[in-house]
Structure 1
Amino acid sequence: MRLKPLLPFALLTLSFVAHAQSELTEEQNLGKRLYNDNNLSANRNQSCASCHSLKTIAGKAAAFVDPANAKHGTPVSLGSIEFATGTLNAPSAAYAAFSPKFHWDGQEGLYIGGQFWNGRASDLAGQAEKPLLNPVEMAMPSQWAVVSRLKENTAYVKAFYQLYQLDLDAVPHIKDAQFQQSTPKTVEGIYHKMAQAIAEFEKSPVFSKFNSKFDFVTAGKTQFTELEAQGLKLFNGKAGCSACHISQPGVDGQGNKVPALFTDFTYDNIGLPRNLKIPGNPKPNLGLGERSDLRKLDPDKALWGKHKVMTLRNIAITPPYGHNGVFASLEQITHFYNTRDTLGEVSNNLSPNFGISGWPKPEVDKNVNHDELGNLRLTTAQEKAVVAFMGTLTDDYPEWGNDPSVPPGTPSPFVGAGY
């Protein structure tokens, strides 16, 4: 059984106090514009928001995932270049700001934190830099090309000078470059500041509202239904969900309380089957095992198949599920956690009996977690209760909950309450 951090949130450096701000800063407003700007992709058709949308999903809340995947169950997102797709399910950007920087915890013997499914970006700014240059995402050819697109927007020219004293007009447009001209020295600094602005926007209350039904119940403002209450008891008990998706508040690096984040930011191989619905049928992703910087430290392949434990906040409105999007519904992945090792076996996820009479073999059979899932012995009714509880983790409950105890416009119960 893998070790667990005793105080997973003690590693955080982001205080929830920052999330109580009612307005965005100038830098966050710049980040918001950049986050939504399709012009920063090769064909001017994709932005950060394309895969991490600010739009409401299922009539409830913004969950910061690809709305096409959530609506149609497609496992991966389209890129800027026609027919290009990723190979992993785009994770939600909600609450991502609370993930500590990627690091090895020697005491616990675990990698913790970072961004992406394999933590390859240490922090939010590092994460924001990568999709723009990824050939199956925004597909820009270079940092210089991105800065050239920034130069085309006079509002960016003004903002970068005012905020960072960086003169975009002093950088020649890449289309005017001479043959084999080297990249201007200021390009890298501008590119980093662009990513920093996006990261600051992602740290804003837009992405971390803490206003789900769970939050209002925790604050004593309303009550769970009988089924939801049973689900929470199972979540923390027999089902064992809270072993990784911690349902208790934590403490950040400054000693400030942080509401429950429903993740411990660690990495695990839960034995997901291969998803044959991904275009091109790519080879199974090895998670931490994909990283060249970790591979040399892992001769026994103990990291293979381990992907980041993501937050369960907004989980009910963010299908499909798993790093490869193999599960179509919350009910299906809950049933998988419960019966992975007992239901039987089918050939692949295209089988009509997928999840009914059996599950396919794990796509990465090393390091599969058999201690905390696979044979939970939950009844069908108990699975239903766990799913019902997870439905209480959806943001903007005052707007969609039709709960007279929490009328529309009610702020997060944690603002001004010592958080």
Structure 2
Amino acid sequence: MEVIIAVVWALAVVLVIGPLAEAQPQGSGQPSVPAQEIAEVEQQVDNTEAKAIAGAPFLLSGSPERVPALGKVLFFDKNLSVNRNEACAFCHMPQTGYQGALETINLKGVAQPGSVRTRFSLRKPPSAAYAVYSPPLIYADKPGEAKCTHCFIGGNFWDLRATGLRLQNATAMQAQGSPLNPTEMANPDPACVVRRISERPYRPLFESIWGPRSFAITWPDNVDAICSRPNNTPDSAIGSEVPGPESTPAVVALEPEDRARVQSTFDQMARSIAAFEKSPEVSPFSSKFDAFLAGNANLTPAERRGYGLFTGKANCDDCHVPTGQRPLFTDNSTSNLGVPRNPELAYYKETAADEFGYVANPVGDAFVDLGVGNFLRSPENADKAWKTVAAEFDGRFRVPTLRNVDKRPRDDFVKAYGHNGYFKSLKEVVHFYNTRDVLPRCAPGARGEKVSCWPAPEVPQNLSKSCCNLGLSDSDEDDLVAFLKTLTDGYVGN
């Protein structure tokens, strides 16, 4: 096994990683990612997958750890992408709280390169940690149904399009998104993902959990040729990260019973990944704040002041609820904070057809990310009643958990914040919450941007009123940052 992994890894470096540093959209402003940086992340992914596969035979039959263990192998398997070079974990690495771990990307465009390395998606990868606690999407329009009325609660992805309604599991439906996304793993058909799983060494574990007929599929002779070509179906009108059922063709010719088996196995893959994301390895509730709630740690004076501001003057707990034995620090609702446009996104420049004829963004710089509003208008939204309220949700995005918001591999590692990665530090985020409505407007790139002025919101409609004139001092902002750092998992007390 070790010899095979070494050979595969060597080929990956030569055939995949090497060209990546030069394979950027022309004129995109997207930085060339150093090959060594890509290599380090890829090696971490490969090593984790190899260890997970090696440990699978030692799982006891009937053990509750078996499904999360399978989910982990799937999560770290880059062979499930069209070019066999990108796992789910590539955009969701443990050392960053299951977000992007390519610092060069975080500094600029924030969207990670896809399996087709010249393609970049629209938004920053959301955290996979704790996402499993978001319920299937509902529209709360009855008093008492939720803390808000006429609001959406639940779902996954920044725009809630992983509703969870079909599987009653939003995270499982999210796990079905990236494998088909043309700008991410880019498989042209769910059948291609199932085909790749059937060829992997962990197939026996999959079959022992989900049944011996999981891969009882009669494949056409040309299946591998078809599955080696990327998904070139344009995204739906929302410019989302994954085409929905209305726009993803079934390009592998299968008999009806085989197509039904593919869907069932694809669902089982997704449920396995969701089980892994719910496991203590991904969502452990092991931060200093958790230890504080349990009476096993003390907060510093700055952290205590920040906690008081979080639940008081700063009004953070209006959306990032800190209550309960194991608080999620999100109410799973949506909000438009008025975040400025991030001109560094490569997506704005992906206006020409690539070598496969795919055009990610035909409108170029004119594109405006309306978030939930565009999802509600799209074919991916099957609820006609929800379409009627789309305009009320323009500019709104899912309220993310604040857990692991500061998790990073080293103290000076740069993370990106916000759905478009406009912010590059917690201090910038807190300063924006504090002064959005106080400081003057300025052009992007102007002197003083993010300190003494802010560019206009990308979407000025439906702005949140729970911020952004808080009257906090500079030291108050620093105290809030100190508190947010207590939400990093892996705390070891004195």
Distance (whole Å) between structure 2 residues aligned to residue 344 and residue 269 of structure 1: 19
* 1:182 counterpart = 2:254: yes
* 1:82 counterpart = 2:117: yes
| Conserved? CA contact 1:86–1:136, under 8 Å | yes
Residue by residue, what CA displacement relative to the aligned partner does 1:260-285 show, whole Å, maximum 9, x if unpaired? 11111100000000000101326231
Match of 2:98 in 1: 64
| Conserved? CA contact 2:320–2:331, under 8 Å | yes
| Conserved? CA contact 1:102–1:119, under 8 Å | yes
Match of 1:285 in 2: 369
Distance (whole Å) between structure 2 residues aligned to residue 70 and residue 221 of structure 1: 37
Deviation at 1:201, TM superposition (A): 1.1
Q: Is the partner of 2:347 in helix, strand or coil?
A: coil
Say which of 185, 209, 214 aligns to 1:138.
185
Match of 2:319 in 1: 244
Deviation at 1:338, TM superposition (A): 0.4
* 1:297 counterpart = 2:378: no
Distance (whole Å) between structure 1 residues aligned to residue 424 and residue 461 of structure 2: 24
| Conserved? CA contact 1:345–1:357, under 8 Å | no
Residue by residue, what CA displacement relative to the aligned partner does 1:20-74 show, whole Å, maximum 9, x if unpaired? xxx86211111111010000001111111111113x24xxxxx111111488424
* 1:35 counterpart = 2:75: yes
Quickly say closer, same or farther: Cα 1:180–1:271, change in 2 above 3 A: closer
Q: Greater CA deviation, 36-45 or 166-175? A: 166-175
Say which of 335, 346, 351 aligns to 2:431.
335
Quickly say closer, same or farther: Cα 1:366–1:163, change in 2 above 3 A: same
Say which of 401, 406, 410 aligns to 1:316.
406
Which segments of structure 1 move beyond 4 Å, counting only runs of 4 or more? 69-72, 177-180
Aligned residue runs from structure 1 range 10-25, under 5 A: 25=65
| Conserved? CA contact 2:79–2:85, under 8 Å | yes
Letter in 2 for 1:289: G
Say which of 144, 150, 156 aligns to 1:115.
156
Q: Is the partner of 2:391 in helix, strand or coil?
A: coil
Q: Greater CA deviation, 125-134 or 165-174? A: 165-174
Deviation at 1:163, TM superposition (A): 1.6
Deviation at 1:160, TM superposition (A): 3.1
Distance (whole Å) between structure 1 residues aligned to residue 479 and residue 315 of structure 2: 14
Match of 2:129 in 1: 94
Say which of 316, 337, 341 aligns to 1:274.
341
| Conserved? CA contact 1:347–1:360, under 8 Å | yes
Residue by residue, what CA displacement relative to the aligned partner does 1:235-294 show, whole Å, maximum 9, x if unpaired? 111100011111111xxxxxxxx5111111100000000000101326231111111226
Distance (whole Å) between structure 2 residues aligned to residue 332 and residue 175 of structure 1: 55
* 1:231 counterpart = 2:306: yes
Q: Provide structure 1 residue ranges, at least 5 long, that are not aligned to the other structure.
A: 1-22, 58-62, 250-257, 405-419
Match of 1:160 in 2: 206
Quickly say closer, same or farther: Cα 1:343–1:161, change in 2 above 3 A: same
| Conserved? CA contact 1:151–1:173, under 8 Å | no
Distance (whole Å) between structure 1 residues aligned to residue 179 and residue 390 of structure 2: 34
Distance (whole Å) between structure 1 residues aligned to residue 452 and residue 80 of structure 2: 46
Deviation at 1:173, TM superposition (A): 4.0
Match of 1:408 in 2: none
Match of 1:73 in 2: 107
TM-score (norm 2): 0.70
Distance (whole Å) between structure 2 residues aligned to residue 300 and residue 194 of structure 1: 32
| Conserved? CA contact 1:144–1:174, under 8 Å | no
| Conserved? CA contact 2:92–2:98, under 8 Å | yes
Letter in 2 for 1:112: I
Distance (whole Å) between structure 2 residues aligned to residue 70 and residue 247 of structure 1: 32
Quickly say closer, same or farther: Cα 1:161–1:329, change in 2 above 3 A: same
Letter in 2 for 1:396: G
Quickly say closer, same or farther: Cα 1:71–1:176, change in 2 above 3 A: closer
Letter in 1 for 2:178: P
Residue by residue, what CA displacement relative to the aligned partner does 1:353-400 show, whole Å, maximum 9, x if unpaired? 21122101110110011x2111111011111111111011111011xx
Match of 1:415 in 2: none
Distance (whole Å) between structure 2 residues aligned to residue 311 and residue 138 of structure 1: 25
Aligned residue runs from structure 1 range 343-358, under 5 A: 343-348=439-444, 350-358=445-453
Say which of 302, 319, 330 aligns to 1:263.
330
Match of 1:410 in 2: none
Distance (whole Å) between structure 2 residues aligned to residue 26 and residue 243 of structure 1: 38
Match of 2:235 in 1: none
Aligned residues: 361
Letter in 2 for 1:269: N
Say which of 192, 197, 213 aligns to 2:288.
213
Match of 1:306 in 2: 396
Distance (whole Å) between structure 2 residues aligned to residue 299 and residue 222 of structure 1: 46
Quickly say closer, same or farther: Cα 1:236–1:379, change in 2 above 3 A: same
Q: Is the partner of 1:104 in helix, strand or coil?
A: strand
Give RMSD over aligned pairs.
2.1
| Conserved? CA contact 2:372–2:390, under 8 Å | no
Identity of aligned residues (%): 36
Deviation at 1:117, TM superposition (A): 0.6
> Which one has more relative contact order, counting CA pairs under 8 Å at least 6 apart?
1
